[in-house]
Structure 1
Amino acid sequence: MDQLPEEPRRREANLLSIEDTRSEMVRYGIPAHESVPNTLVILQKKFDDEYNAQLSVYAKIMERYRRKKNKDEMTARAVKAVENDALALKNYPKIGTLVDQVKNNSTNSELVVRGLNEATCKAFLHAMETNSSVIALDLSNNDLDEAVADDIATLLKRNHAMQTLDLGSNRFNSASLIHLAPALASNKVLTGLSFECNPLTTQNNTVDLSGFESLCSTVLANTTTIRSINLFRCGLNVEAGRLLSKSLLFNESIIALDLGCNAIADKELEMINIQLEENRQVHDRMQSKLFTMKKQVQAQADAKYEEKRKHDKEEAIAKWHDDNAKIRQTQYEADAATEAQRKLEECIRMQNIVLEKEAARKLRDDEAKAKAEAKAKNSKKK
């Protein structure tokens, strides 16, 4: 789309000159005998209908343009990302091999990655977006910072297999949490998260709780999947403790929370411990119910399996008897046919013997008769 149309403008009937009004009345077929106020009302209605129709067409054109522009920008970013990733991995063959394994889903379910810099980390995270083999990912001790937070957020939105993520001992700060919090809130797979030894409440060497507040309000207060969070030595002060304790009042999923080496007040720690204990009790009850349900389901499955096995055995036995009966019947019929054939052959043989004997007897009789006749002839001659 090389040239965009101009945005439609709404026309005002009461701003027209007399000549223009008459011209528009003719164009729209408005009778000339209408009064001026009625004419203006009718014209304005026509103008508004025309404007709304043009605006609808304009909106559709602009929407197509925005979609195409976004698609082109996304394609360009994807191409640029591939180029940057290839360039980043060029001098790090080990990381490149790992990225290939991640793309091919040929890694172990628990993956620990060390020796990343900003560029190679981005390349690795891009590969992880579609990975389904890694269940637990450890990116701790890589000196990562805010520069890769957005890429980690994209990973959390797109990866649906990873259940635990360890970001400990890096340099993720308040601004990093601004990127990560919405992604963590939308993720429904993650059960374990570690920010151990990250300056989560600082920005440019000053205290900044905006990122931690976003983490508390959007993630900790609403998550139903995360079970454990490690916030050991993350620079949490008294106010951060208040935000944390307040957010946990609405949470029922977190049962393990490490808050060691932070400056949280005892009152907030006590409230947090109470909430965690309540969550653990709820979790234990749920686990107990799930265990009971699993046992019941397993018992039902075992009963169905045993019933099916018994039914299959009975069917197998019945089939064995049927098959044997068919075999015996077939053998009986074959034997009967063989016996009938034998009897037929024996009958034919006996008939042949009788015929042969009869023929021999007749031959002897004929010979005896011939001899008698010859003898009688000889007697008469004498």
Structure 2
Amino acid sequence: MDATDFDIDDDVDIDLDKLPIEERDAIMSRVTPDDSQPVDAFTLGQNDLRRELIDRGIQPKGFFNDDAARLQEEFNAEHTAERESRIKQKIQTAARNYLRETIKRKRQQRETELREEIDEIANNPKLEVWMDLVKANTTPTEAQFRVNPIATRALSKVLPFNLSLQALDLSGNKLDDMAGKALATVLLRNSTLQKLEAEGNMFGPATMKEFASALAVNQGLTYLSLESNPLTAEETDYSGMAAFGAMLAKNSSLTSINLWRTRLSVEGGKALVKGLYNNSTLLCLDVGNNKIALSDANLISKRLAENIDAADQIQRKKGVMKKNQMNAADRERVKNEARKKREENEKWLQDRAQERASDREKLEAERIRKEIEEDARLRQIALRKQAELQARMELEKKKKKKGKRK
């Protein structure tokens, strides 16, 4: 929910210390001075003087000058308290009115921008397609857009949540600081985008301050090019470069920044040097064609060389570590292969032993089957012979009986 969704109640006290300095200055410029003066006790009569003292719990001394001086102290203190209260009330009234106007202005601006973006999307089918791709995380890893500031604002509302786009080129689009602020919101939330090229636009100190705030927490962007942008408003405002330089002390992901021909001048160069000497990850910073001091250029080159040496050492250590890991992996692989081969041999021997045992069992079963078959065959032969013998014996008996009858 945006701050423009709220209103300021009359009984709300505004803490000016929590507001940006430019807003505090704008509020204080609306407060009219209090030129009132305390009542002059020496102009009162003796009776009025006495009554005023008694009303304040003070016993009059009876000497006019002494009593008037004492009462004057009371008048001065009361006036100071009342004056401070009036000034505080004026400041709070001015602050509430200023914030109401700011909220109203921002709300109107937001509504205007929203209408502009809706119209731009409706009139730009290609932009609508790209926005759908961004929302669905199906963009190519790299994209180059030819867009105006309105289209950039529309895209910037969906890009913070995209996980597919890694490189974005918005160069040569004449984008203004409003578009720059929108892009800063992308950098504030998106950690997938690694490369942003925005050369040849109209970004000034306001954009640099927004970029600085975002990049102080961004941990994804490694390459930023702002070549040929008027980053110092033609060398009249270095506030953006001061913020950008301070950001370098906090950012640890940027490795390459291109600020070629951005009117940095001496002050911009000093701001970069100040921040760069608290940065250990930046390896390339192009500040050519900017009229920065030669001493600062040398300091920048020296610091970058130190960062490069440190990065090389880290890479070498990583290389040694990777080599050791690979050697360990190779040893483990050889060990695993030997173990696997041993297990395979053992399994093969077990399989062969099982096959031989199975063959022996089959042979034994076959032998037993054949013995059983042979026993059965012999029994059948014996039974058949016995049956034949009985048959012959019966036949002989019958023959003998016939011979006796004859």
Confirm or deny that 1:274 pairs with 2:306: no
Confirm or deny that 1:95 pairs with 2:127: yes
CA displacement at 1:295 relative to structure 2: 1.4
CA distance in 1, matches of 2:336, 2:118: 57
Equivalent in the alignment of 2:328: 300
Structure 2 CA distance for partners of 1:183 and 1:329, relative to 1, 3 Å = same
Do 2:235 and 2:264's aligned partners in 1 also have CA atoms closer than 8 Å? no
Kindly report which structure 2 residues correspond to 1:225-240, keeping only aligned pairs within 5 A, or say none.
225-240=253-268
Alignment length (residue pairs): 299
Confirm or deny that 1:374 pairs with 2:402: yes
CA distance in 2, matches of 1:335, 1:145: 94
Structure 2 CA distance for partners of 1:93 and 1:346, relative to 1, 3 Å = same
RMSD over aligned Cα atoms: 2.5
Equivalent in the alignment of 2:181: 150
CA displacement at 1:192 relative to structure 2: 1.2
**Counterpart among 98, 123, 130 of residue 161 in structure 2:** 130
CA displacement at 1:320 relative to structure 2: 3.0
CA distance in 1, matches of 2:334, 2:134: 43
**Counterpart among 241, 253, 256 of residue 212 in structure 1:** 241
CA distance in 1, matches of 2:209, 2:369: 98
TM-score scaled by structure 1? 0.72
Structure 2 CA distance for partners of 1:88 and 1:308, relative to 1, 3 Å = farther
Q: Given residue 139 of structure 1, which amino acid in structure 2 is its aligned partner?
A: L
Do 2:134 and 2:158's aligned partners in 1 also have CA atoms closer than 8 Å? yes
Cα shift readout 1:311-360 (whole Å, capped 9, x = no counterpart): 22332332233234333433432342233223212211211111111111
Q: Given residue 143 of structure 2, which amino acid in structure 1 is its aligned partner?
A: L
CA distance in 1, matches of 2:127, 2:139: 13
Q: Given residue 210 of structure 1, which amino acid in structure 2 is its aligned partner?
A: S
Kindly report which structure 2 residues correspond to 1:143-222, keeping only aligned pairs within 5 A, or say none.
143-202=174-233, 207-217=236-246, 219-222=247-250
Q: Given residue 249 of structure 1, which amino acid in structure 2 is its aligned partner?
A: Y
Structure 2 CA distance for partners of 1:366 and 1:80, relative to 1, 3 Å = farther
CA distance in 1, matches of 2:120, 2:354: 75
CA distance in 2, matches of 1:287, 1:254: 15
Q: Given residue 211 of structure 1, which amino acid in structure 2 is its aligned partner?
A: G
Confirm or deny that 1:110 pairs with 2:142: yes
Structure 1 unmatched runs, 5+: 1-6, 8-77
Structure 2 CA distance for partners of 1:223 and 1:354, relative to 1, 3 Å = same
Structure 2 CA distance for partners of 1:372 and 1:153, relative to 1, 3 Å = same
Structure 2 unmatched runs, 5+: 1-10, 12-109
Equivalent in the alignment of 1:119: 150
Percent pairwise identity: 34
CA distance in 2, matches of 1:369, 1:85: 130
CA distance in 2, matches of 1:316, 1:81: 72
TM-score scaled by structure 2? 0.68
SS of 1:207 mapped into structure 2: coil
Q: Given residue 243 of structure 2, which amino acid in structure 1 is its aligned partner?
A: S
Structure 2 CA distance for partners of 1:212 and 1:316, relative to 1, 3 Å = same
Equivalent in the alignment of 2:270: 242
CA displacement at 1:194 relative to structure 2: 1.0
Equivalent in the alignment of 1:54: none
CA displacement at 1:206 relative to structure 2: 6.5
CA distance in 2, matches of 1:175, 1:243: 16
CA displacement at 1:365 relative to structure 2: 1.2
Q: Given residue 386 of structure 2, which amino acid in structure 1 is its aligned partner?
A: E
Kindly report which structure 2 residues correspond to 1:20-59, keeping only aligned pairs within 5 A, or say none.
none
Q: Given residue 238 of structure 2, which amino acid in structure 1 is its aligned partner?
A: L
CA distance in 2, matches of 1:87, 1:339: 96
